[in-house]
Structure 1
Amino acid sequence: MAKTSTRDRMSNEINAGSMADIAFLLLIFFLVTTTIAEDKGILVKLPPWSDEEPDITKLKERNVYSVLVNAQNQLLVREEPMRLANLRESTKEFIMNPNNMPNMAESPQNAIISLKNDRGTNYQTYLAVYNELKGAYQELWDDLANKRYGEPYTDDMEFAKRKSIREEIPFVISEAEPTSFGDEQ
């Protein structure tokens, strides 16, 4: 029989049986405790999907505020060129129609903003136009809330107050299907 030395009895191996368990537990811990940042974007409520043909109603042209953005990122508002800086004030004037002009909306409840862009439109331009249109509504809501309740229109405002303001000036932006690249001149 061969004599075993103390050197042969000492093993250089490390018992790694529980290492996989520890790594698995750490992985689960970090997956559970890590929060993933959500991308924020434009909050738009889309209509429900339907296979039925849409009911096409004839709208009065005076109630439709058409905003076209072409592939060169230029605005055409109601068939006239406009700068982005003037869009918000023009939109507010169209919605409220303070002078009862025949080419503006009959009332805020009837006002419809139609936004159409080209597939070549720059995304930053699209967002800037959308923000100006949304900002026009936000300013109108804020003015009405200050006049009626003496406080600005915020998410902290009572639900009933916000609802009455939104009923008087409803947020209506209709987005048309984008045209092919370069079709809008």
Structure 2
Amino acid sequence: MPRRGGPPEVNAGSMADIAFLLLIFFLVTTTIETDAGLDRMLPPMEPPEDNVVIKQKNIFTVNINKNGQLLVEEELLDLKNLRNAAMEFLDNGGDGTCNYCKGARDESSSDNPSKAIISLKNDRETKYSTYITVQNELVGAYNDLRNREAQRLFNRKFTEMEAEYLNPETPSSVREELKDKVKQIQDLFPQKLSEAQTSTN
């Protein structure tokens, strides 16, 4: 007796449903990694002031070459000494107008924390990790000085106050109280960290 028909047919009606369910499963369970960037708060847009003269002694220059070496104020410096060198510059108070500065009051260094600028420049081939480490040390110099003044004025670290102020879960009444204190400390040592154009050689 001859065989009737070909091979048995497979019912593919539910394949689309299965594929759709698998797609939803993978979309829900897959995690997407995100790269952490630099946390920087940009200053507000302000019109440039006319005839601004910045004295060279109020600029603290930090250059990083492609080998990761630091040239600070035209001299080689170890990374471990960078924070202290930056703090000495910021806290100098050379013109005598800073009554909270505890520096050497060297007339050849920065006049006042409000006039002090740190200029950071790196080579195009500088390692990213070195660049970030140097930035952290310079920001750390500002934070150490701000912590000192916050302890003196409010018996608290500035970094703790700032973190609590920026935390969205902090009650608005507490944030309002912290706002003036954080600004007061920031005004004592304003963070003027300038990143110069990257050099190509």
Q: Give TM-score scaled by structure 2 length.
A: 0.73
The residue aligned with 1:104 is 109
The residue aligned with 1:69 is 64
- The percentage of aligned residue pairs carrying the same residue is 44
Give ranges in structure 1 of 5+ residues lacking alignment. Answer: none
The residue aligned with 2:118 is 113
Distance 1:19 1:59 in 2: 72
Give ranges in structure 2 of 5+ residues lacking alignment. Answer: 93-102, 166-177
Distance 1:116 1:36 in 2: 34
Aligned: 1:82 with 2:82: no
Q: 14-23 vs 80-89, which deviates more?
A: 14-23
The residue aligned with 2:184 is 164
Distance 2:10 2:197 in 1: 65
Distance 1:67 1:176 in 2: 10
The residue aligned with 1:19 is 15
Aligned: 1:40 with 2:7: no
Q: Give TM-score scaled by structure 1 length.
A: 0.78
Higher RCO (Cα < 8 Å, 6 or more apart): 1
- 1:39 Cα offset (Å): 1.1
- RMSD of the alignment, in Å? 3.0
Q: What one-letter code is carried by the residue in structure 1 that aligns with 2:17? A: D
Q: Tell me the SS of whatever aligns to 1:156.
A: helix
Structure of higher CA gyration radius: 1
Distance 2:44 2:26 in 1: 38
Distance 1:95 1:147 in 2: 18
Aligned: 1:147 with 2:152: yes
The residue aligned with 1:132 is 137
Label 1:38 to 1:54 Cα distance change in 2 as closer, same or farther (>3 A). farther
Label 1:137 to 1:13 Cα distance change in 2 as closer, same or farther (>3 A). farther
Aligned: 1:179 with 2:199: yes
Distance 2:9 2:51 in 1: 79
CA deviation profile, 1:113-142 (whole Å, cap 9, x unmatched):
100111122222212211111111121122
State the number of aligned residues: 174
Q: What one-letter code is carried by the residue in structure 1 that aligns with 2:128? A: Y
Runs of 4+ in 1 over 6 A off after TM superposition: 2-5, 53-56
The residue aligned with 1:94 is 89
Distance 2:8 2:183 in 1: 75
Label 1:147 to 1:47 Cα distance change in 2 as closer, same or farther (>3 A). closer
Q: Tell me the SS of whatever aligns to 2:14.
A: helix
Label 1:118 to 1:55 Cα distance change in 2 as closer, same or farther (>3 A). farther
